[in-house]
Chains A and B, each alone.
Chain A
Amino acid sequence: MADIPVEHGLLVSVIMFSIGLIGLLVRRNIIFMLLSIEIMFNAAGLAFIVGSTRWIQPDGQVMFMFILAMAAAEVAIGLALVLAIYRGFNTLDADRASRMQG
């Protein structure tokens, strides 16, 4: 609708993806790591939507829906693991759960 250069949309996407990557690398709390992954999904989705509007084709929006489905599945598994780790180790520190037997 609006007259926005593609670069500006992709710029926002790149910045948000980088922030999510920083968060994933810096934080040791598993909940914050999951939130950072969500940020990165969202940034990738934004890039898809920008591409979709550049060529006025629905394909990018379809891809965004698949990203949504993947994020939902990932959140379900990830939060179940968060609960399992919290019950097992009584902490959310990812470093404490770094040793796995078997």
Chain B
Amino acid sequence: MAIVFYIAAMVAVVSTAMVVTRLNPIHALLYLILSLLSTAVMFYVLGAPFVAALEVIIYAGAIMVVFVFVIMMLNLGEETVRQERVLLKPAMFVLPAILAAILGAELLYLLYYGGRADTGQGVVGPKQVGVSLFTTYLFAVELAAMLLLAGLVGAFHIGRRESERELTDTEGTSEVRRAQPELGRK
């Protein structure tokens, strides 16, 4: 079983690196879905089958589909690839990569400085998770519900303003100049 974990981890790391370096948003998105699916495999091997299912259904399923919707709606394709080719020079990776490497090295140092430990041998099933979720963490569940409501209301608010503007102003002249007074009015 352990070899499955390491293969999935390798797939996850490689596909995550591909997400960051792609020019076409759809390609990046498909690599991210691959990364999430291999993370789900890792969860399963580690003994968390419920969360593995949630990762596939909610993360790779629902959240990524929203991304696909938006990218398809914006009709990003060749134009974005050309634009990104100008924006994304290999030299731009140098400094952030060094900074992130320093951070990662620090984390790894702390990781290996402590003692070693194996992961547990048991499986934490949905029942235990559900009991814990609705007894110990009940208040946090209600806070998460409030957060989702706030997200819903916020998305509706931001999206509605745009569609109204499109309805009232059908001429596509000077989009930037038209947008700025409205941004100021917020």
Contacts and interface: CB of A to CB of B under 8 A. Distances in A.
Interface of A: 1-12, 14-23, 25-29, 31-32, 34-36, 38-39, 42, 45-46, 49-50, 52-62, 64-66, 68-77, 79-84, 86-93, 100-102
Interface of B: 1-2, 4-6, 9, 12-13, 16-17, 19-20, 25, 28-29, 32, 35-36, 39, 42-43, 45-48, 50-51, 54-55, 58-59, 62-63, 66-67, 70-71, 73-74, 76, 80, 83-84, 87-88, 92-93, 95-97, 99-101, 103-104, 107-108, 111-112, 116-124, 128-129, 131-133, 136-137, 140, 144, 147-148, 150-152, 154-155, 158-159, 161-162, 165-166, 175-176, 179-186
A42 B39 contact: yes
Chain B interface, DSSP helix/strand/loop, else mixed: helix
A101 B103 contact: no
A38 B9 contact: no
**9 closest pairs, A vs B, by CB?**
A73-B151, A88-B179, A23-B20, A25-B96, A2-B1, A101-B184, A56-B120, A80-B158, A76-B155
B163 to A, nearest CB: 9
Given A62-B133, A89-B176, A15 B48 contact: no
A80 B62 CA distance: 16
Given A26-B20, A84-B161, 15 more contacts: A1-B47, A8-B5, A17-B104, A22-B97, A59-B136, A65-B144, A71-B63, A73-B148, A76-B66, A77-B151, A80-B154, A83-B70, A88-B182, A100-B183, A101-B180
B12 A102 contact: no
A99 to B, nearest CB: 8
